[in-house]
């Protein structure tokens, strides 16, 4: 007699659904980043987590967040080589900082949750030119008023942002060339895509940026100087960053609204 035929079949429980290893790693990265965020109360300091290219490559969520990033920045050496690439995710205030092969002195990737990655501000302020005060005399007579306003704006608090319109009234060609020469070579170059392409460049003066708005034919429609840690169009606002944190918490908690498709369409 076959004993197996007389035995009561064991009740088989449905197999427990397991997340792929990459998904578990992703949740771990986001959880760790949020935990670091919770340890600081400074919105501008944010949180930074070191990771590797391999850890990110097969990830089911983070690549989707950065695939549609409209904002990209390059941190350059004095000779023009790109040392670091910085991309903002489709969720504002979530940044990926990557060293370029053979260029950056330290090769660690960084996942950052902040209004502006610290490396951008530090690099713009220190690469090949230590911070110094703007000279009192303008580079051209026609720039006297703008120069005085810029010097005054730099005395304001770090959290304050000021915008100076160079398009109205338009600078005459000689004054424009003198201003460009005085601003110096850029250490940070950026592109922000939208209805108008925004070209972002740092200047020799700490916290002074030039932002040009270009149409589809690459013609400058608006030319501005901005004083701030990062131009307003590029830095995440306090409200945007708070919204990103809420969505990341939903992702970690498995909220139904935070699906991969939803992240890709953010």
Tokens of 9: 């079949």
Residue from 74, 47, 60, 71 nearest 21 by CA: 60
d(CA 222, CA 195): 13
Asked if residue 124 is part of any domain, the answer here is no
Phi, psi of 151 (to 5 degrees): -60, -40
The SS3 assignment for 175 reads helix
Alpha helices in 11-103 (DSSP H): 21-38, 53-57, 62-67
Does 182 score more than 80 pLDDT? yes
Pair 228, 240 in one domain: no
Pair 98, 64 in one domain: yes
Pair 110, 93 in one domain: yes
Q: How confident is the model at residue 17 (pLDDT cuts 50, 70, 90)?
A: very low
Q: Which of 15-24, 38-47, 79-88 has the highest mean pLDDT?
A: 79-88
Asked if residue 55 is part of any domain, the answer here is yes
Asked if residue 123 is part of any domain, the answer here is no
* DSSP letter (8 states) at residue 52: -
Pair 193, 250 in one domain: no
Asked if residue 201 is part of any domain, the answer here is yes
Q: How much is the pLDDT for 204?
A: 86
Q: How much is the pLDDT for 83?
A: 85
Averaged pLDDT score across all residues of the chain: 78
The residues near 265 (Cβ < 8 Å, ≥ 6 apart) are none
Pair 255, 217 in one domain: no
pLDDT (mean) for 182-187: 87
Q: What is the pLDDT of residues 78-134, one digit of tens each?
A: 888 888 899 999 899 999 998 886 655 556 788 999 998 888 877 776 665 555 678
- Share above pLDDT 70 across residues of the chain, in percent, rounded to a whole number: 74
Q: How much is the pLDDT for 18?
A: 37
Looking at the 3D structure of the chain, how many domains does it have? 2
Pair 261, 205 in one domain: no
Choice between 59 and 30, residue whose per-residue pLDDT is larger: 30
Pair 105, 151 in one domain: no
Q: CATH no. for residue 199?
A: 3.30.1370.140
Asked if residue 93 is part of any domain, the answer here is yes
Pair 147, 212 in one domain: yes
Tell me which residue range forms the domain holding 242: 20-115+236-266
Q: Which of 5-14, 159-168, 217-226 has the highest mean pLDDT?
A: 217-226
pLDDT (mean) for 45-72: 77
Residues 190, 71 contacting (CB under 8 angstroms): yes
Ranking 75-79, 118-122, 189-193 by mean pLDDT, the lowest is: 118-122
Pair 164, 220 in one domain: yes
Asked if residue 121 is part of any domain, the answer here is no
Residue from 72, 47, 95 nearest 236 by CA: 95
Pair 49, 146 in one domain: no
pLDDT (mean) for 203-228: 91
Q: How much is the pLDDT for 103?
A: 56
Pair 208, 192 in one domain: yes
Cα–Cα–Cα angle for 22, 27, 30, nearest 5°? 125
d(CA 101, CA 105): 10
Asked if residue 13 is part of any domain, the answer here is no
Pair 226, 242 in one domain: no
Q: How much is the pLDDT for 176?
A: 93
Alpha helices in the chain (DSSP H): 3-6, 21-38, 53-57, 62-67, 118-126, 144-153, 173-183, 238-253, 260-264
Ranking 53-62, 139-148, 215-224 by mean pLDDT, the lowest is: 53-62
Does 137 score more than 80 pLDDT? yes
Residue from 148, 147, 204 nearest 181 by CA: 204
Residues 189, 182 contacting (CB under 8 angstroms): no
Choice between 89 and 264, residue whose per-residue pLDDT is larger: 89
Residues 200, 188 contacting (CB under 8 angstroms): yes
Asked if residue 161 is part of any domain, the answer here is yes
Does 258 score more than 70 pLDDT? no
């Amino acid at each position: 007699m076959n004993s197996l035929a007389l035995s009561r079949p064991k009740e088989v429980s449905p197999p427990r659904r397991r997340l792929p290893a990459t998904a578990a790693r992703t949740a771990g990265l986001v959880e760790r980043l949020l935990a670091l965020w919770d340890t600081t109360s400074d919105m501008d300091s944010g949180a930074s987590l070191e990771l590797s290219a391999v850890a990110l490559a097969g990830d089911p969520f983070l690549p989707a967040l950065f695939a549609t990033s409209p904002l990209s920045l390059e941190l350059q050496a004095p000779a023009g080589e790109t040392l670091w690439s910085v991309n903002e995710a489709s969720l504002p205030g979530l940044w990926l900082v990557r060293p370029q092969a053979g260029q950056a002195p330290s090769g660690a990737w960084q996942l950052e949750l902040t209004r502006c990655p610290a490396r951008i501000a530090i690099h713009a302020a220190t690469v090949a030119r230590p911070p110094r005060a703007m000279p009192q005399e303008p580079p051209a007579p026609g720039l006297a008023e703008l120069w005085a306003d810029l010097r005054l704006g730099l005395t304001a608090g770090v959290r304050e942002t000021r915008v100076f319109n160079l398009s109205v009234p338009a600078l005459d060609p000689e004054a424009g060339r003198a201003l460009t020469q005085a601003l110096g070579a850029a250490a940070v170059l950026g592109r922000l895509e939208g209805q108008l392409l925004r070209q972002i460049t740092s200047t020799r003066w700490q916290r002074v940026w030039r932002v040009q708005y270009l149409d589809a034919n690459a013609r400058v429609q608006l030319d501005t100087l901005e004083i701030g840690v990062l131009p307003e169009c590029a830095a995440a606002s306090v409200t945007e960053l708070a919204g990103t944190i809420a969505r990341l918490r939903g992702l970690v908690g498995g909220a139904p609204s935070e699906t991969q498709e939803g992240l890709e369409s953010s």
